[in-house]
Structure 1
Amino acid sequence: MAAALPMEPWPASSAPRWSWSSICYALSSEVGQGWEAERVIVVGLSHRTAPIDAREQLAISADKLPSVLQRIVALDQVAEAVALSTCNRVEIYAAASSHACESDAARALTRLVSDVGGREVVRHLAGATGRDALVHLFQVAASLDSLVIGEPQILGQLKEAVAIAQATKTIGAELSVAMRNALHVGKMVRTETAIGSGQVSVPSVAVDLARHIFADLRGHTTLLVGAGEMAETAAKLLARAGAELLVVNRSSERSGQLAKLVGGRARPWEQLNEALIEADIVIASTASRNHVIGYRQLKKIRRKRRNRRLFLIDIALPRDVEPRVHDLDSVYLYDIDDLSHIVAKSLGDRAAEARRAEAIVLDEVVRYEQRRSQERMKPVIVALRERTRRVLETELHRSCKGKLKHLSEADRAALEKMLEAAANKLLHGPTMRLRGLACDHRGVTAKRVLSELFDLEQLIAEATTVAADDEPEIEVSEGASGVVAGEPSDDDQVAAGANG
């Protein structure tokens, strides 16, 4: 089972699903205890464990991720690392070093996260190791742990996190296999269930809130601050609802493109105040590290607005809108955490699909651990056969120089074939038995005993290195939507993600 961590275990989702304890019990019942544990660790926080203030404090921008990853793998207890940073989560997935236990690696990660985000975030951290970490990773990839259950963006965000780790050279064989399988599970869930049916994303929820505020959006002006992927999704939905759209973005080219796409009007960044005077609803989704709409700014333009109500929906992290604007008369601010109430109401229709998705995750975790145990047994089998081959080859070479030096080349070749056939027959039974023990706790003992009896440690290490080198890299050139991933602009919330 997972080692104890110096923090809370990951909480169960509010979606209909098994609890952590029942998941672990089901896994234990199905595959048994004692086989070689996974060395995967996850430490972080999400919308389920931390308020938006804490998530904002720990948020890591895309340009800062490489340096953070390098700091993580510099830890003596950590061998590999991938960092997933979105609006709703910052999670570090790691593989423990061969000489460190998972709990020690988790503690080291916790200290580093404290350095990055400050000690205030520590009490909101959650974590898991081994099997529990795999369950959590697969659930994240399947969008079962997202703010909006079933949203598609998380797969692209996870791929991007892997791409950054690959470019930084902080991901190795252990996490590559885990991430590849997690992405596979995410795609399987979307293919085999209807969990993603309809409009399921933070922008769609923001638009639902706008519709709730104004029963009919026709005749009302919505200002989009930012023109990235999230803004585009919201703009298309708002255009269908008949809203009049204004787009303000630091890149006038991008704001012009988006305005043209949805039949709206683009304004230069310098005219943000004028656009705020005109707007009834504002949806902010930039990737700015600082507030782009402030308290004093809105206070100055209130008179020009003639005390008309202004509704601001901030789906960015770090937040685009200064929180205290909510104190102003006739100004109403909603952030990502406020959207969770709307999400809870919309979950009912997808509850059955969420349960089906959970079943897929559970089944795939079992399959993953079985495959990994079998793969870990291969180097032992290869090493045992290689030791046998080297001993026989050495003895044959010595004999052919001594008592058997009279043998012809044909006779020597025949003798080599005979020894090879004898070795294969001799090792066939042990090989099959080892494969059968791969998913059994006795397999770990068998590996250790064979290594000691036949001095296989170096050969096992060599075979493991060859196997790791043969692992293909994860394909990350395309995002979940099939669009080639590129560098986000300053106002593109793709960098931080607005769902997962």
Structure 2
Amino acid sequence: MSVLVVGLSHRSAPVAVLERTAVTGDGLAKLLNEVHDHAHVGEAAIVSTCNRVEVYAVVDKFHGGVSGISELLSLHSGIPLDDLSRYLYVHYEDRAIQHAFSVACGLDSMVVGEGQILGQIRQAFRLAQEHGTLGRELHDVLQQALRVGKRAHHETGIDKAGASLVSVGLDVAAAHLGPLDGVRALVMGAGSMSGLAVATLSRAGAREIVVANRTFERAERLAGSVPTPARAVELAEADAELAAADLVVSCIGANGLMISADRLVAQGVGSDGRRRFFLDLALPHDVDPAVRRLPGVALAGLDDLRTAQEAAEAIGPEAIEAVRRIVCDEVAVFLGAARAAAVAPTVVALRSKAADVVEAELARLTGRLPDLDDRARKEITHTVRRVVDKLLHAPTVRVKELALAPGGDTYADALRELFDLDPKAPEAVAVADMRSAATSVGEVLPGGPGGSSPQRGADLSSPPGGADGGPGESRGAEL
């Protein structure tokens, strides 16, 4: 079984496609379970943000896993598979691990270095855990990805260099409205992106912040979390607030537009001579693009923010390079440990067989020499066991060392052949190992194996290295 990633993001697909593939709530749980139920999938987790949908899976066949997951993404998005495939990327084995670690560090985010993606990986972990689709391999991959992300942020400060998408959006708003101190702001939604928007606006000196949400209690909690004068309203009662606001930040991501041009015109927006700015951080979009045609009104969505970020990239190249080195080092350590762990059951099975042979021979000796005194018997037993241990020491140590390199699992296969080990013996050891570790899945909050990966645009008809066969609201994280 090998780790596979199939997905699309702002790097591979336009916002219009990401909008159609966005999956949240019950739809996300449904897709997760369908992926897990696929014949070639043993484990599954889905990282879903405004900028990416990525399926992480443990599969027994490369082709079967890629085709099955791609078809499910096509069905859930309503985009024909031939069209969707142009935007999908695939990472397999070693490259899947490298991709997971890079994503957790923020290297693959729209705003390089942003730290919110760590929260979304945690959400993906928890959802997979709740639905029973998380096994030992993905547990370890996702948990380690979070640890690597935290290490990168702590050691390089890349999360401080990389502003959040909210900050980038508010910088664009300030370019239209002027300094944000003294503005009246309306934040629609009460998820984590909305929370970040409220906190950022408060620090910027907003005169008043209104939080509108379907669940009034959540809006009230968010409004009460900042020192700036803030209040909560029901989402259905937001029309008057739309008219009063200078700045509107929408993070709902519902099916269908939340703010139409007609709705604004009915509230006098565009006819009162005021300048207004709408920041649409949702996917699917909340704000009708037609609002741009209203006098004095400007709108920025995800496409605009991508352009703004690329034009004003402020991440130091040294920090990015330092994070890349961390990812490279961590991938090597993780894969080495995984390969060593994969060989361990064979080593245990070999030593177990040797111990059985020793005990059988000592029992036969007892039958042939019943009058042997205890002292001699103990000395013979000790000598035989020591001889066997010495004979096995070099090959077992060496096979563990060789296992750290790519293809090292072939040495375990050689041991099984040379010593005629029962093929089920190592498997039994591995299963026992997994059962003993399974309890940690429920106890350790999250923060694999080897090969290479076809990238976006690669020919997915043949596996790398011949490996086949043989959000209600904008989820508030990476965005």
**Which residue in 1 is equivalent to 2:231?**
265
Q: Structure 1: which 5+ residue stretches go unaligned?
A: 1-37, 480-489
Give the AA of the match of 1:447: A
Q: 1:340 aligns with which of 302, 306, 319?
A: 306
Farther off after superposition, 199-208 or 373-382: 199-208
Give, in whole Å, the separation in 2 of the partners of 1:304 and 1:432: 76
Farther off after superposition, 403-412 or 52-61: 403-412
Give the AA of the match of 1:41: L
Give, in whole Å, the separation in 1 of the partners of 2:35 and 2:429: 27
Give, in whole Å, the separation in 2 of the partners of 1:121 and 1:468: 36
Give the AA of the match of 2:69: L
Change (3 A) 1:189 1:219: closer
Give the AA of the match of 1:279: A
1:195-234 equivalence runs, <5 A? 195-197=158-160, 200-234=163-197
Deviation at 1:357, TM superposition (A): 0.6
Give the AA of the match of 2:15: I
Deviation at 1:316, TM superposition (A): 1.4
CA contact (8 A) 2:112 2:162 kept: no
Change (3 A) 1:237 1:418: same
Structure 1 segments, 4+ long, off by >6 Å, are none
Report the 3-state secondary structure (helix = DSSP H, G, I; strand = E; otherwise coil) of the residue aligned with 1:347.
coil
Mapped pair 1:248 → 2:197: no
1:345-494 equivalence runs, <5 A? 345-400=311-366, 402-407=367-372, 414-440=379-405, 443-453=408-418, 454-471=420-437, 472-473=440-441, 493=474
Farther off after superposition, 254-263 or 109-118: 254-263
Q: 2:68 aligns with which of 91, 101, 108?
A: 108
**Which residue in 1 is equivalent to 2:274?**
308
Alpha-carbon displacement from aligned partner over 1:414-440 (angstroms, at most 9, x marks no partner): 544333222111111211221222134
Give, in whole Å, the separation in 2 of the partners of 1:364 and 1:263: 45
CA contact (8 A) 1:285 1:491 kept: no
CA contact (8 A) 1:277 1:304 kept: no
Give the AA of the match of 2:343: M
Give, in whole Å, the separation in 2 of the partners of 1:387 and 1:468: 21
CA contact (8 A) 1:312 1:332 kept: yes
CA contact (8 A) 1:58 1:121 kept: no
**Which residue in 2 is equivalent to 1:274?**
240
Give the AA of the match of 1:446: Y
Deviation at 1:131, TM superposition (A): 1.6
Farther off after superposition, 155-164 or 469-478: 469-478
**Which residue in 2 is equivalent to 1:235?**
198
Q: 1:326 aligns with which of 275, 284, 292?
A: 292
Change (3 A) 1:169 1:383: same
Deviation at 1:442, TM superposition (A): 6.9
Report the 3-state secondary structure (helix = DSSP H, G, I; strand = E; otherwise coil) of the residue aligned with 1:197.
helix
Q: 2:88 aligns with which of 94, 113, 125?
A: 125
**Which residue in 2 is equivalent to 1:11?**
none
Deviation at 1:475, TM superposition (A): 5.7
Report the 3-state secondary structure (helix = DSSP H, G, I; strand = E; otherwise coil) of the residue aligned with 1:427.
helix
Q: Calculate the aligned-residue CA RMSD, in Å.
A: 2.5
Give, in whole Å, the separation in 1 of the partners of 2:446 and 2:344: 32
Report the 3-state secondary structure (helix = DSSP H, G, I; strand = E; otherwise coil) of the residue aligned with 2:238.
helix
Farther off after superposition, 72-81 or 324-333: 324-333
Report the 3-state secondary structure (helix = DSSP H, G, I; strand = E; otherwise coil) of the residue aligned with 2:8.
strand
Report the 3-state secondary structure (helix = DSSP H, G, I; strand = E; otherwise coil) of the residue aligned with 2:158.
coil
Deviation at 1:309, TM superposition (A): 3.7
Q: Structure 2: which 5+ residue stretches go unaligned?
A: 448-470
Query: How many correspondences in the alignment?
Result: 447
Give, in whole Å, the separation in 1 of the partners of 2:290 and 2:444: 40
CA contact (8 A) 1:88 1:498 kept: no
Change (3 A) 1:412 1:142: same
**Which residue in 1 is equivalent to 2:478?**
499
Deviation at 1:250, TM superposition (A): 1.9
Give, in whole Å, the separation in 2 of the partners of 1:411 and 1:221: 93
Q: Percent identity?
A: 34
1:125-204 equivalence runs, <5 A? 125-197=88-160, 200-204=163-167
Change (3 A) 1:391 1:235: same
Deviation at 1:300, TM superposition (A): 2.5
Give, in whole Å, the separation in 1 of the partners of 2:445 and 2:404: 35
Give, in whole Å, the separation in 2 of the partners of 1:268 and 1:138: 40
Give the AA of the match of 2:74: S
Give, in whole Å, the separation in 2 of the partners of 1:115 and 1:222: 39
Give, in whole Å, the separation in 2 of the partners of 1:449 and 1:241: 65
Give, in whole Å, the separation in 1 of the partners of 2:270 and 2:13: 38
CA contact (8 A) 1:142 1:357 kept: yes
Change (3 A) 1:141 1:334: same
Give the AA of the match of 1:248: A
Farther off after superposition, 120-129 or 352-361: 120-129
Report the 3-state secondary structure (helix = DSSP H, G, I; strand = E; otherwise coil) of the residue aligned with 1:204.
helix
- TM-score normalised to structure 2 length: 0.86
Give, in whole Å, the separation in 1 of the partners of 2:247 and 2:287: 13
Report the 3-state secondary structure (helix = DSSP H, G, I; strand = E; otherwise coil) of the residue aligned with 2:25.
coil
**Which residue in 2 is equivalent to 1:12?**
none
Deviation at 1:399, TM superposition (A): 4.3
